[in-house]
């Protein structure tokens, strides 16, 4: 994961407390053109979609099946990210 994670962020870092705004701030800060947002609640999925990114839903703590259906990909284990990220690199 160290190959992909350079910094961690929290919703408390953004005044609006809106995850889409937080993701937009990250995109601007790092000049990101292509990326994915990984998360389990619907706001994570929406933050990806609102910013034109790939949404990867996780079957973790607060995940609900109906919300995960809105993600582009769904994983059960973070180890699955490597395969999905390689696939995304070739498709998106």
Total domains in the chain come to 1
Residues 24 and 32 sit within 8 Å (Cβ to Cβ): no
- Say how far apart CA 29 and CA 32 lie, in whole Å: 8
Mean pLDDT on 38-50: 93
For residue 77, being part of any structural domain is answered with yes
CATH number of the domain encompassing residue 57: 3.40.50.1000
For residue 26, being part of any structural domain is answered with yes
How much is the pLDDT for 92?
62
How much is the pLDDT for 1?
63
- Say how far apart CA 33 and CA 30 lie, in whole Å: 9
* pLDDT, tens only, 57-92: 998 877 889 999 999 999 999 999 989 988 888 776
Query: In the chain, what percentage of residues exceed pLDDT 90?
Result: 68
For residue 1, being part of any structural domain is answered with no
The chain-wide mean pLDDT, for the chain, equals: 90
Write 25-33 long-range contacts (CB < 8 A, 24+).
27/51, 27/53, 30/6
């Amino acid at each position: 994961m160290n190959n992909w994670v350079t910094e961690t962020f929290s919703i408390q870092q953004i005044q609006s407390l809106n995850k889409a705004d937080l993701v937009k701030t990250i995109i601007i800060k790092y000049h990101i053109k292509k990326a994915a947002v990984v998360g389990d609640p619907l706001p994570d999925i929406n933050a990806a979609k609102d910013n034109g990114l790939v949404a990867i839903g996780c079957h973790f703590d607060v995940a609900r099946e109906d919300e995960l259906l809105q993600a582009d990909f769904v994983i059960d284990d973070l180890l699955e990210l490597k395969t999905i990220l390689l696939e995304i690199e070739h498709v998106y």
